[in-house]
Amino acid sequence: MPLTTTYWLEHAWLGSHTEPGVALDVTDGRITAVRTGADTPPPGATVLRGLTVPGLANAHSHAFHRALRGTVQVGSGTFWTWREVMYSVAQRLTPDSYFALARAVYAEMALAGITAVGEFHYLHHAPGGTPYADPNAMGEALIAAAGEAGIRITLLDTAYLSSGFGAAPDHHQLRFSDGTAEKWAERVSALEERDGVRIGAAIHSVRAVPADQLSTVARWAEERRAPLHVHLSEQTAENEACHAAHGVTPTRLLADHGVLGPRTTGVHNTHMTDADIALVGSTSTGTCMCPTTERDLADGIGPAAALQKAGSPLSLGSDSHAVIDLLEEARAMELNERLRTHIRGHWTAAALLRAASADGHAALGRPDAGVLEPGAPADFATIALDTVRTAGPVPRLAAETAVFAATAADVRHVVVGGREIVRDGAHVSVPDVPRALAEAIAALRD
Ligand SMILES: [Zn+2]
């Protein structure tokens, strides 16, 4: 007889509105009943005070970038100068040190209410480009790290073959390259899905995968019905180089090689023409916005509203982990658009939560997640409504309070697959997350 656990949610986000007093039954890791009108906790129920929302999906992560936090805030520069510092950290990582860092970073994500991460993973080989004894040792380290932190992972194993259009990888990039897309596919095919783990594909960018090899990666994802992600038009320099090499925009190039479609997500989609936006929208290609990274790297404000209107579902990611806070990503998308247009109210709190949960999970190959409904995975996070940032909400506007004023620090409880991974603001299986982060990052310094 499977065991059923009942949770009593003081307030629950049910997709369109905040409902007070909800009893939620969980059996075998899935939600089996959602009962409204529960004014008081049923006997034996676990009480979750605050606003419970579906688990958040961090649709774009490079776990090792967390080691750069703070150190890249000195001096001026651009995305391209930031990238040099990022490469120097990448050089020092081994499967063991990457496991320790990623375990701590994914635990930080868990504390922020994130129940699934899309890890855009391109650091495959030993320094110099020599494969490890297990050619997927780095990817397996990330999978193990997510398991220890209790969150789900979609490993978006990334093809990264060239430094620029027609240029061989530079010395930093040798660790990223499998040589050819066929060799990439051969290596990635050895990775196995398991409980909490999906294997997806990524094209680092049109800079990093030659045009004649794009379709090999797209076909691999198509055959497996796997998600396919790609950094797209984050920088104007990439658009210009693509034009010079191929006479088209990066979006057009991807479309011409069969990369766009409903299982594909373009990450950033910042500098796009009207024709690019129409192409992304008409193919139902997703858009993953990473507003805290895009502002940190001085990338620009992407046309998220226009992309969504054209048919592109929106997801959110913390990317370089300048901060790890999906609530901040969600409101930043809206607030950037307000600054750009001088108009308020482009997305409701409901629409922002959808990007931060259901549409994010769908972009990671989990279309059944991100809702508090029978049949969905029992993945949810409770945001406290009694902290200095959130106290005093109008009950029916609890979600508006959470999305526009709460931070990751207000997340109190997190459940993944019916298992509590964060209780009362503390991680259950990684006892001291700040210390784990400090030690893993210190180990990478000179
Ligand atoms: Zn990225």
Among 290, 287, 284, 257, smallest CA distance to 272 is for 287
Classify the phi-psi angles of 75: left when phi > 0, otherwise alpha if psi is within -120 to 50, otherwise beta: left
Question: What confidence category does residue 230 fall into, taking pLDDT thresholds of 50, 70 and 90?
Answer: very high
| Cα distance between residue 399 and residue 303, in whole Å | 25
Q: How do residues 400-445 score in pLDDT, each as one tens digit?
A: 999 999 999 999 999 999 999 999 999 999 999 999 999 999 998 8
| Cα distance between residue 442 and residue 427, in whole Å | 21
Taking the centre of ligand 1 as the mean of its atom positions, its distance from the CA of residue 79, in whole angstroms, is 11
Asked whether residue 446 carries a pLDDT value surpassing 80, the answer given is: no
| Cα distance between residue 164 and residue 186, in whole Å | 23
Alpha helix ranges (H) inside 263-344:
274-282, 291-296, 304-310, 326-341
Among 104, 113, 46, 9, smallest CA distance to 411 is for 113
Amino acid 79 reads F
Average pLDDT over residues 297-301: 94
Q: How do residues 140-174 score in pLDDT, each as one tens digit?
A: 999 999 999 999 999 999 999 999 887 888 888 99
Taking the centre of ligand 1 as the mean of its atom positions, its distance from the CA of residue 319, in whole angstroms, is 5
pLDDT at position 176 is 95
Which of the residues 268, 271, 321, 413 is marked catalytic? 268
Tell me the DSSP string of 396-434. GGHHHHHHHH--GGGEEEEEETTEEEEETTEESSSS-HH
Q: How do residues 83-131 score in pLDDT, each as one tens digit?
A: 888 888 888 999 999 999 999 999 999 999 999 999 999 999 999 999 9
Taking the centre of ligand 1 as the mean of its atom positions, its distance from the CA of residue 42, in whole angstroms, is 45
Q: Which two tokens stand for residue 330?
A: 């969600």
Query: Quick one: what percent of the chain has pLDDT higher than 90?
Result: 91
Taking the centre of ligand 1 as the mean of its atom positions, its distance from the CA of residue 229, in whole angstroms, is 10
Which of the residues 319, 325, 359, 410 is marked catalytic? 319
Degrees, nearest 5: CA angle 94-98-101: 145
Taking the centre of ligand 1 as the mean of its atom positions, its distance from the CA of residue 120, in whole angstroms, is 7
**Where is average pLDDT lowest: 78-92, 199-213, 351-365?**
78-92
pTM for the model: 0.97
Question: What confidence category does residue 1 fall into, taking pLDDT thresholds of 50, 70 and 90?
Answer: low
pLDDT at position 87 is 86
| Cα distance between residue 235 and residue 165, in whole Å | 15
Q: How do residues 333-350 score in pLDDT, each as one tens digit?
A: 999 999 999 999 999 999
Q: Is 386 marked active-site?
A: no
Average pLDDT over residues 35-50: 97
Asked whether residue 250 carries a pLDDT value surpassing 80, the answer given is: yes
Taking the centre of ligand 1 as the mean of its atom positions, its distance from the CA of residue 357, in whole angstroms, is 19
Q: Is 268 marked active-site?
A: yes
